[in-house]
């Protein structure tokens, strides 16, 4: 093979549409429900001062994509660092192309979050709350606002410049209006859907602020000894879902979820097939634990290559 398509973050971010991301993730969950999404737990390899982490998988149904994402956990970062996503045809094994950068990893997590909000938030959800203003928060908001028609988005993160810049940037992109608040409490209290997308190792809100009927998504750490979510939310949640039970259970550190909580957690693919497994009334609290279903990067990578390469 002498040449193949390569997409960089610049290629992706300048031209992608959240609709593609959501469609690709819905296709991935259809395959997950049908049992055609191979998604083994991550493989971590010591690689000097850091690790290489592989998430490989395949969607062997209609999507027909196989491949992997690899990222590194070195303390250093910079323009000479990159993750890689490689896409193969799952029937023939032909190599279809490479995505170098971080866009696929972030966008597929955002897309999964968007599918989860659509499946679990109350039908009349109007206000989207966001705790965190980084890379992950951005794609969560983009996908959630494509999946559902929120009337407004309220964001809080501890550094004023970060939350203001985040809100200004997203507000400029069009509907809905996005504004930064100076305190987490009203963001949580007024949210119909609350997205926690931080790297905080301690709870980022007081669980007493959480009102009946709210959907909560947690993207950040969810270990027993490091978690952005107040543990009380797990006790209060009427339904708990995740994108991958095996990945949730395969963590290298003890999970924030007790065994009883793990036992009642359902996969998002199951909720999409059988909505009864999810929200059962406007006053319920629902929780989505995003862990990163393997195989989804490859499904999105294939779609991005098809659209942009």
Among 10, 35, 160, 254, binds a second copy (CB under 8 A): 10
- Of 52, 54, 6, nearest to 297 by C-alpha is 54
- Helix crossing, 103-120 with 135-147: angle to 10°? 40
Q: Find residue 72's DSSP bridge partners.
A: 52
Among 22, 30, 98, 120, binds a second copy (CB under 8 A): 98
252 lies in the binding site for a second copy (CB under 8 A): no
CA Rg value for the chain: 19
Using the contact rule CB under 8 A, the part of the chain among 14-22, 75-83, 236-244, 281-289 near a second copy is 75-83
309 lies in the binding site for a second copy (CB under 8 A): no
Question: Would you tell me how many other CB atoms lie within 10 Å of the CB of residue 285?
Answer: 22
97 lies in the binding site for a second copy (CB under 8 A): no
110 lies in the binding site for a second copy (CB under 8 A): no
Among 13, 19, 35, 50, binds a second copy (CB under 8 A): 50
* 93's tokens: 């094994």
Long-range contacts of 156-163, Cβ-Cβ distance < 8 Å, separation of 24 or more: 156/129, 156/130, 156/131, 156/180, 156/181, 156/182, 156/183, 156/184, 156/187, 157/131, 157/132, 157/133, 157/198, 159/133, 162/133, 162/134, 163/133
Among 54, 135, 209, 223, binds a second copy (CB under 8 A): 54
Among 81, 169, 253, 264, binds a second copy (CB under 8 A): 81
16 lies in the binding site for a second copy (CB under 8 A): no
CB-side neighbour CA atoms (13 Å) of 197:
26
Alpha-carbon span 158 to 40, nearest angstrom: 36
Please, what is the minimum distance in Å from the beta carbon of residue 218 to a second copy? 27
281 lies in the binding site for a second copy (CB under 8 A): no
Please, what is the minimum distance in Å from the beta carbon of residue 262 to a second copy? 25
189 SS3 class = helix
Please, what is the minimum distance in Å from the beta carbon of residue 97 to a second copy? 11
Using the contact rule CB under 8 A, the part of the chain among 93-101, 103-111, 161-169, 299-307 near a second copy is 93-101
Interface residue list for a second copy (CB under 8 A): 1-4, 8-10, 38, 40, 43, 45-50, 52, 54, 56-58, 60, 64, 66-68, 70, 72-76, 78-82, 84, 86, 88-95, 98, 100-101
């Amino acid at each position: 093979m002498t040449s193949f398509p390569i997409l960089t973050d610049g290629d992706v971010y300048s031209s992608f549409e959240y609709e593609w991301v959501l469609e690709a993730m819905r296709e991935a969950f259809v395959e997950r429900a049908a049992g055609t999404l191979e998604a083994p737990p991550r493989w971590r390899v010591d690689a000097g001062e850091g690790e290489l982490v592989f998430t490989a998988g395949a969607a062997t149904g209609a999507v027909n994509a196989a491949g992997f994402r690899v990222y590194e956990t070195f303390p250093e970062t910079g323009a000479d660092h990159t993750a890689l996503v490689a896409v193969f045809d799952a029937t023939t094994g032909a190599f279809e192309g490479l995505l170098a950068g971080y866009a696929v990893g972030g966008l597929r997590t955002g897309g999964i979050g968007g599918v989860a909000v659509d499946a679990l938030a109350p039908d009349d959800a109007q206000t989207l709350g966001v705790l965190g203003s980084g890379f992950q928060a951005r794609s969560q908001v983009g996908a959630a606002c494509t999946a559902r028609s929120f009337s407004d988005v309220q964001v809080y993160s501890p550094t004023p410049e970060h939350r203001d810049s985040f809100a200004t940037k997203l507000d400029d992109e069009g509907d809905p209006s996005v504004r930064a608040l100076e305190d987490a409490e009203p963001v949580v209290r007024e949210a119909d859907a609350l997205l926690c997308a931080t790297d905080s190792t301690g709870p980022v809100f007081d669980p007493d602020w959480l009102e009946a009927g709210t959907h909560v998504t947690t993207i950040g750490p969810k270990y027993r000894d490091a978690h952005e979510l107040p543990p009380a939310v797990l006790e209060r949640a009427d339904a708990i879902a995740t994108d991958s039970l095996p990945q949730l259970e395969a963590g290298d550190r003890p999970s924030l979820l007790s065994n009883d909580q793990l036992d009642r957690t359902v996969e998002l693919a199951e909720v999409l097939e059988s909505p009864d497994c999810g929200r059962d009334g406007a006053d319920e609290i629902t929780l989505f634990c995003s862990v990163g279903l393997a195989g989804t990067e490859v499904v999105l990578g294939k779609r991005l290559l098809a659209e942009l390469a």
